[in-house]
Structure 1
Amino acid sequence: MSLKTLVTSPISGFALFVLFLALLLRFSITSQRLFTTEELALFNGTDPGLPILIGILGSVFDVTKGKSHYGPGGGYHHFAGRDASRAFFSGNFTGDGLTDSLRGLSSTEVKSVVDWRDFYLRSYKPVGKLVGRYYDSRGNPTKYLKGVEAKAARGAQLLEKQKIEEAKQPQCSSKWSQDEGGEVWCDVGYPRLVKRPIEIALTGKMSKRCACFEESQLGQPGLEVYEGCDYNANRCKV
């Protein structure tokens, strides 16, 4: 049978169509599949014949191209073969810190984890979903994931609101060096520490910011003079 006959034959054409659908289905399964926790653990970089995968908020990414970082001995190896979403914010890479739970995190903290997921979407190939906290057995988003997305959106709104508010009060200039340490100063006004709203504070270290206040504003409540710095100094060591 000639190639032309094979292609134009109704039966052969149907067979080719079925074959095409089978290949398409196979491609969709292999490129975007569902993983169990146990299956994902196999892709932790210890088997050179397998890709290295990580999960974040239930989305699974192939990070093999970054194997020097995600493979054994790499600085990010603790993320390989698991969903350790919380550690993307906390930096706790041991024991209970390597969990996908975001329980207890503020809206701005949750937003920072979502931002990491978006980074992987831009930088690495998504290969599937992890069945569990964020996706069900059919690959559909769970209520937990929808709640995380909503909380992150609130965090984005709060940060934008805070950005607008902080723009009203000039921020201190600053510098740091290993030899001299840190210094903050104001070209106009005096440096003071001022507390951020608790929902904005990402960590204890970021719960305050340095802003410049004019002399007439220094009597406002909540302004803190840097330790060891003169009340009227416009430069302070930190």
Structure 2
Amino acid sequence: MFYPKLVVVTTLQVFLISAAVSYYNLTAPAVVSSLKKFLDDWLLLLEQRVRNFPIRSTKFVLSSSKNRLHFFTKSELSSYDGSVKSKGLYLAILGRIYDVSRGREHYGPGGAYHIFAGRDATRAFVTGDLSAEGASDDLTNLSNEEIIAVQQWADFYDKEYELVGDSSHTFHFSALFFYARSVRLVEALSGERGEALINIFSLPATDVRTNFNDASAIAIAVIMIRILKGTYYNSDGNPTRSLEDYKIRLNKALKWKQEEDAEAERFPPCNSEWIQGGGGRVWCSHNSGGVKRRWAGVPRKLLKPGSKHSRCVCVKNDGTFQKEEDNVNDEEAQSFSRRGDFDHPNLLQYSNCDPEAVSFRLTLSLFRTLHQIELDPQRMSSEPRI
């Protein structure tokens, strides 16, 4: 652990003692001379090391909770739609405003995504509804997949476009210095008190101090960004309940996604196809559903508890039953031995499919049923692709 205050105090004391000894022509005690030499050598070594540390650029993005110039109203943002008399070409997502001027062919007048310009149309990014009514920042009733997609779009704009900001300052200093201080130092340097709105670009959004213990030199850019007052930020520049609710929903959606991914590893989706005039089929392979594995499995209908919906999955038909996540006791699990997951309580056999077959023919009605459930047309509407 590095203690800069202790080093400074000790160095100052040694300096004063050394100055007094020199001024009065006294003989310095051996311990003082030794300590002074040690500190001189140590500080010289530290200086050499710091000079050799790689510079890592880190960006802090702050909003101001004091200066009203640091937010747009919806009316003000609408004047940045890229039209002839507009002031620029901006869009907002989750209340944060980006300059998309370099994507004018997409966002400018006549562009495929001009509906996003000069407004916050967060909802339309994931619903694909590019009508004036659909270009809303209201995230009510979005599914888990759509909530996750919203964050993916926000990450995309963080990466590809610049946030609209009023000022930018860059500070270079040693991480050893920064490590001993709070992230509030950044606010002091910027001259504003504010809240970090987005992740520190190259670091996790946790306690910043713990991320600088590699003793590398840091270049910090402090940008006072403009935010959109309304759904996600209030007139003080602070997050609204809507933004807090979104964060809660996102955390729940990410947890759900982890569970879904784990289920997909165990029960990968079936492959299916329909050939006009030739009919359709469902089959399992070592890569069906995009899940690579050593076994192919056989098609089964997986029921979701509490839901009327089901989906076609590939089920492992040999080996041991995975009972750890299911309401199955040890005695029942032993009776399932070497049958894989055949006896999972939520699985049903397709009536027109051989129990051991890796594929079966589909009727048109069954094919439509499968895809109405698994590929909801409302969710398959074309999302904008930048």
Q: Structure 1 regions of 5+ residues with no counterpart?
A: 1-27, 200-206
The alpha-carbon distance between structure 1 residues 75 and 194, as it changes in their structure 2 partners (threshold 3 A), is farther
- TM-align CA RMSD: 3.3
The answer for the alignment partner of 1:149 in structure 2 is: 247
Q: Deviation string for 1:1-26 (max 9, x for gaps)?
A: xxxxxxxxxxxxxxxxxxxxxxxxxx
Matches within 5 A, 1:87-166: 87-127=124-164, 128-166=226-264
| Equivalent residues, number | 198
The answer for the alignment partner of 1:234 in structure 2 is: 358
The alpha-carbon distance between structure 1 residues 148 and 46, as it changes in their structure 2 partners (threshold 3 A), is same
2:297 to 177, 189, 194: 189
The answer for the alignment partner of 2:223 in structure 1 is: none
3-state SS of paired residue (1:74): coil
Q: Does 1:212 align with 2:334?
A: no
Q: Distance in 2 between matches of 1:55 and 1:179?
A: 48
Q: Deviation string for 1:95-144 (max 9, x for gaps)?
A: 42111111122344322212211211111111121100100112211121
Q: Distance in 1 between matches of 2:232 and 2:278?
A: 47
* 8 Å CA contact 2:300, 2:347 repeated in 1: no
The alpha-carbon distance between structure 1 residues 54 and 174, as it changes in their structure 2 partners (threshold 3 A), is same
Q: Deviation string for 1:162-215 (max 9, x for gaps)?
A: 21122122443467899989864213332234355789xxxxxxx765421256
TM-score (norm 1): 0.69
Q: Distance in 1 between matches of 2:306 and 2:134?
A: 23
The alpha-carbon distance between structure 1 residues 144 and 171, as it changes in their structure 2 partners (threshold 3 A), is same
2:71 to 34, 37, 43: 34
Q: Distance in 2 between matches of 1:153 and 1:101?
A: 18
TM-score (norm 2): 0.45
The alpha-carbon distance between structure 1 residues 168 and 43, as it changes in their structure 2 partners (threshold 3 A), is same
Q: Distance in 2 between matches of 1:178 and 1:119?
A: 39
2:122 to 85, 102, 105: 85
Matches within 5 A, 1:60-75: 60-75=97-112
Q: Structure 2 regions of 5+ residues with no counterpart?
A: 1-63, 165-225, 286-295, 318-338, 368-386
The alpha-carbon distance between structure 1 residues 171 and 105, as it changes in their structure 2 partners (threshold 3 A), is closer
The alpha-carbon distance between structure 1 residues 36 and 176, as it changes in their structure 2 partners (threshold 3 A), is farther
* 8 Å CA contact 1:84, 1:99 repeated in 2: yes
Bigger radius of gyration among the two: 2
Q: Distance in 2 between matches of 1:181 and 1:53?
A: 49
The alpha-carbon distance between structure 1 residues 83 and 151, as it changes in their structure 2 partners (threshold 3 A), is same
Q: Deviation string for 1:72-103 (max 9, x for gaps)?
A: 11111111111111111211111421111111
* 8 Å CA contact 2:302, 2:346 repeated in 1: no
**Relative contact order, higher structure (CA 8 A, sep 6+):** 2
